[in-house]
Each structure stands twice: as C-alpha cells, then as structure tokens.
Amino acid sequence: MPESSSVVNVVVAGLGGQGVLKASGILADTAFRAGLDVKKSEIHGMSQRGGSVSSDVRFGERVFSPMVPAGEADFLVVLTVSQIEVARPMLKAGGVLIHPGLVDETRLANKRSLNVALLGALARQLNLAENLWHAAIKAALPEKLHAANLQAFAIGKNP
C-alpha cells in the first residue's frame, strides 16, 4: 500500500523571473542524489511574463502525483512577500513557511541568489546531506555563479 505520509511535500512560489524553477530544480536534484523517489511539477508558458509562478517538489520512498495537494505542503518556500498569501493555502496546518524575512539579504554577494539562500533555510529542516545540496547547486548553475550561491546557501542555513 502506498504510504503518502512518508512523502515530503514542498511548494516553492514567487513571481516569474525570481528563480522559482531554479530553486525547485535544485531541491529535486538534491533529493534525487539522496537516492529518493522524486517528482517535481511546474507550469510554463504565460506564467513567464511576470505572473505568479509556483513549483511543487515531492520526495520520499514512493511518490505518485507530481502535484502537492492544496493544504498538504509540509514546507512553503516563498521568494517574495507579495506571494505569501497567494500561496499560503498550499501549506498544511502546522506546516513551515520559509520566507525572505528569514534571510539578511544585505549579506548576499548576489541579490539574485535569494532563492538559493531560502533553500539554505529549508535545508535546516530537511534531512538531506550538505554535500548533496552543494553538488545540486553547482550542477544547476554556471561556474561563475557557484561561489555566490554557495555563500547564499550558507547564509540561509546558518543565519
């Protein structure tokens, strides 16, 4: 019997151009590197034009639907304050909201790394090894951005 309670549900939300899909991709890759079943879902197209964007990542022993059911996200990562209320119904009662207020943005070497910094904040809550996160970040970004994003991840993880 499938045991959905063993699945971790994460929703990443923000606006087009903020790196929502990059962040969900890094998270999914980290879980994949940990040997877990992973599914990641997102919507392309019209949403690219500055509209709301969200992406679901689910991982565990066995994942079926690629989409997190509304009200069942264990973690909601929101990249911009304006989208918190839009995305909040995805979060389960007692779920954890990861928002920009958790990161001191002035410490980021590159402001565009906020998405990765918030993954650092998420990493504190998840049982995924640090080296897997680092490998996934490096795999997702060109080499010239590695240092800034590893720094951002560290700031999010150890504020």
Partner 1 sequence: MPQHNSERRLASGNEAVAQAALDAGVSLGTGYPGTPSTEILEAFDAIGGRAQWAPNEKVALEVGIGAAFAGARALVTMKHVGLNVAADPLFTVAYTGVTGGLVIVSADDPGMASSQNEQDNRRFAVAAGLPMLEPSDSQEAYDFTLLAIEISERWHIPVLLRMTTRVCHSATLVQTKGQLAPPSQPNFVRDVPGRVMIPAYARPAHHRLRAKLAEIAAWNESDGPIQVVDGDRALGIITSGISYQHVREAAPRARVLKIGLSYPLPVEAMRRFAAGVDRCLVVEEGDPFLYEAARTAGIAVEQKPEMYRFGELNVGRVRRIVAGDVSPEPALPAGKPPELCPGCPHRNVFEALRDLGCIVAGDIGCYTLGVLPPFSAMDTCVCMGAAIGVGLGLRHSLPPEQARKVVSVIGDSTFVHSGITGLVEMVYNPPATGHVLVILDNGTTAMTGMQEHPGTGRRLDHEPTGRVVFEDLARTLGIKNIHIVDPVADEQAIERVLREALARDELSVIIARRPCLLAAGAIKIREKKANAGK
Q: Which one among 61, 81, 89, 104 touches partner 1, defined by CB under 8 A?
A: 89
User: Total number of residues binding partner 1 (CB under 8 A)?
Assistant: 39
- In the bound state with partner 1, the residue whose beta carbon lies nearer, of 2 and 159, is 2
User: Within a 10 A sphere around the Cβ of 100, how many other Cβ atoms?
Assistant: 17
Does residue 144 bind partner 1 (CB under 8 A)? no
Q: Which one among 61, 67, 111, 131 touches partner 1, defined by CB under 8 A?
A: 67
Say how far apart CA 73 and CA 91 lie, in whole Å. 5
- 105 secondary structure, DSSP code: G
- In the bound state with partner 1, the residue whose beta carbon lies nearer, of 69 and 101, is 69
User: Beta 8-15 vs 52-60: how paired, if at all?
Assistant: antiparallel
Q: Report whether 101 contacts 77 (CB < 8 A).
A: no
Binding to partner 1 in span 2-61, by CB under 8 A: 2, 4, 15-16, 25, 28-29, 32, 37-52, 54
CB of 108 to partner 1, least distance (A): 24
Say how far apart CA 135 and CA 133 lie, in whole Å. 5
